Amino acid sequence: MSASTRHFEHVAVVGHFAIGGVREGQGPLGPIFDHIWRDDLAGERTWEAAEGKMAVQAVEGAAHGAGWQLGDVDVVVGGDLLDQLVSTNFAARQHQQPTLGVFAACASFAEAVGLAGLWCEGGSARAVAGAWSHHLAVERQFRFPIEFGYQRTPTASWTATAAGALAVTPGSGRVQLRAFTVGRVVDPGSTDPMDMGTAMAPAAWDSLQRHLRAVDGDWGQYDRVFTGDLGVVGSAILCDLAHDDTFSRVHDDCGRSLYRPDQDVHNGGSGTGCVAAVVAGHIVPRIEAGDWRRVLVAATGALFSPTSYQQGESIPAVAHVIELQAGRS
């Protein structure tokens, strides 16, 4: 058993809530998300304020899905991509629940869920874990303002305007959080901020292998193994690294799942809200419905900033893994 993997005996996912923006609502998962915005500003003055509003809605929605009032929540664990976690912290200013902000780039959701599980195990806590991102806020921080009209490369991912949150508590439920593996920072030497899939695929494979060894499992035991947002390019690299037909058969990617091929998102979806919304709006409901019994989610994050990129640094990455399994309500 690896010390970097924590096994949970009695931690249940008892509520979930997923939100998508306008483009996400037009994708294949839009009809099953809990809420779709008709306007990506959502009545707010700035894109950043809109992202904060989305964070509040996700936290409230997950709590209510568990049958809790917002005031019943003992801790909110959440993350985003903006400097100083402004949307997470400004949302906390509004919902007024104790908050832990986390940052692992687009891997933040899995880190938040794992920490919520650690918080709840062996106690009586009620936690909400989530992550959120807004295309128009994140793109202008990490790449260029949309108004600039720059040419997106074929390998570029589309930062999702999306959010997802899970309500987690000790006990038994239809969905159990079974394990959490903390990722290592892996640097393959990639330097292209328009190609996150190449940068993150080695970190995903590293964490997935370590998780599989820690739980003494094999790929055939899983109905699905989701990665966070490797997209088309990164998923192909990951399957090449695995070189295993069983893995390739069960592998899927949240970034590929969020949009249709004709939506012009190139490599697929990305952003902290991408994996969060797909897990909360698609994966957990499929486990609840009995369609899937055991699912791995390796959320992937590229750990760079505009400053590090301009200084010529490469782009290291990390992947945190959570394991979800069907339980008994």
- d(C-alpha 219, C-alpha 224), whole Å: 9
| Residue 180 burial class via C-beta count within 10 angstroms: exposed 0-12, middle 13-18, buried 19 and up | buried
- DSSP states along 78-105: EE-SSGGGHHHHHHHHHH---EEE--BT
User: How high is the pLDDT of residue 150?
Assistant: 54
C-alpha radius of gyration, the chain, whole number: 18
Residue ranges of the chain whose pLDDT lies below 50: 148-149
Which residues make beta-bridge pairs with 295?
224, 324
- d(C-alpha 106, C-alpha 130), whole Å: 12
- d(C-alpha 221, C-alpha 124), whole Å: 31
- 3 backbone dihedrals φ, ψ, rounded to 5°: -70, -15
Which positions ≥6 away from 281 have C-beta within 8 Å?
16, 17, 18, 20, 29, 32, 33, 34, 164
Question: In 10 A of CB 20, how many CB atoms?
Answer: 28
User: How high is the pLDDT of residue 186?
Assistant: 98
- d(C-alpha 163, C-alpha 216), whole Å: 32
- DSSP-based three-state secondary structure for 297: strand
Domains present along the chain, CATH in parentheses: 5-170 (3.40.47.40), 175-326 (3.40.47.40)
Q: How many residues does the chain have?
A: 329
157 within 8 A of 187, measured Cβ to Cβ:
no
User: How high is the pLDDT of residue 53?
Assistant: 97
User: How high is the pLDDT of residue 187?
Assistant: 96
User: How high is the pLDDT of residue 300?
Assistant: 97
What number of CA atoms fall less than 13 Å from residue 33's CA on the CB side? Answer: 31
166 within 8 A of 16, measured Cβ to Cβ:
yes
User: How high is the pLDDT of residue 143?
Assistant: 61
User: How high is the pLDDT of residue 24?
Assistant: 97
Question: In 10 A of CB 310, how many CB atoms?
Answer: 8
**Terminal Cα-to-Cα distance of the chain (whole angstroms):** 28
